[in-house]
Amino acid sequence: MLSPVIKKLLETKLGKDIRYSSDIEHLSFDIEKHTGQRIGVNTIKRLLGLIEGVKEPRLYTLDTIARYLDHKNWDELLESLDQSGNSSFSTIEEIDIQTLNAGDKIRFTYSPDRVVTVEYIESNKFTVIDRLNSKLLPDDLIEVNHFVLNYPLIISNVIRNNVSMGKFTAGKISGITSLSIL
In a domain, 86, yes or no: no
**Does 57 lie in the same domain as 105?**
no
In a domain, 87, yes or no: no
Domain boundary among 21, 48, 81: 81
DSSP states of 119-166 as a string? EEEETTEEEEEEEES-S--TT-EEEES-EEBTS-EEEEEEEETTEEEE
**Does 143 lie in the same domain as 74?**
no
In a domain, 131, yes or no: yes
**Does 62 lie in the same domain as 131?**
no
In a domain, 146, yes or no: yes
Q: How far apart are CA 146 and CA 156, in angstroms?
A: 11
**Does 146 lie in the same domain as 74?**
no
**Does 103 lie in the same domain as 72?**
no
Average pLDDT for runs of 10 along the chain of length 182: 84 90 92 93 86 76 92 86 49 74 92 92 94 94 88 90 92 84 85
**Does 104 lie in the same domain as 167?**
yes
User: Amino acid identity, residue 125?
Assistant: K
What pLDDT score does 117 carry? 95
What pLDDT score does 86 carry? 45
In sequence order, the β-bridge partners of residue 115 are: 109, 132
What pLDDT score does 126 carry? 96
Domain of residue 42, residue span: 4-81
When divided into structural domains, the chain yields a total of 2
Residue 87 phi/psi, 5-degree rounding, is -65, -20
